[in-house]
Amino acid sequence: MRGLYIGRFQPYHLGHQAVLEKIADEVDEIVIVIGSAQESHTAENPFTGGERMEMIYAALGKADLRKRCIVTTLQDINRNSLWVTHLRSMVPCFDVVYSNNPLVVRLFSEAKVTVKKPPLYQRELYSGTAIRNLMRQDGNWTDLVPGNVAKFIRQINGVERLCIVPKSDSFEMPSHE
């Protein structure tokens, strides 16, 4: 039995890891799909597809799940109605999908694929958005991601990139009040 786990993983955090460990209890193999693989260097998607793959492999090594996981990337397409077909044409076959993303759940359900919704683990804490905000605000984000992922993000100066990318070089008129 093979499960599919799709996410943007911007960055890969301990909530993702908890879900992965739960999936690993239920299936023999897991296809981990890094979605929006074409995106990088933006406030919402700071890390490249390849960097996110490095993060996942770093985390898998520690959890000893590496042998049972296939990690791959997938670019977005501009037509949701064709997305499941697009995904199927690009990733290894699978029997069941794990997701809590409403659009992902909807598209797979319409395609008659079995979808399981894993429990959420402290979503307010373990969320990509919250972690990216902490990174920008010099907060304590390192406890929210696997240790090897924090190490990798530091190695690539990921926090510096995240702080720089939303900035504009346009001239702003001084306000006269």
Binding site for ligand NAD (CB under 6 A): 6-9, 15-16, 19, 35-36, 76-77, 80, 83, 99-101, 103-104, 107, 118, 120-123, 126-128
**Using the 8-state DSSP alphabet, how is residue 13 labeled?**
-
Nearer to ligand NAD, 34 or 159 (CB): 34
Nearest one of 52, 37, 31 to 95, comparing CA atoms: 31
Helix (H) or strand (E) holding 43: none
* Closest distance to ligand NAD from the beta carbon of 166 (Å): 19
**Least distance in angstroms from the C-beta of 131 to ligand NAD:** 10
Peptide bond into 174 cis (omega under 30): no
Pairing of strands 69-73, 96-98: unpaired
Q: Pick the closer one to ligand NAD by CB: 8 or 169.
A: 8
Separation of CA 27 from chain center = 20
132: DSSP letter:
H
Closest to ligand NAD by CB, 77 vs 90, is 77
Closest approach, Cβ 148 to ligand NAD, in A, equals: 18
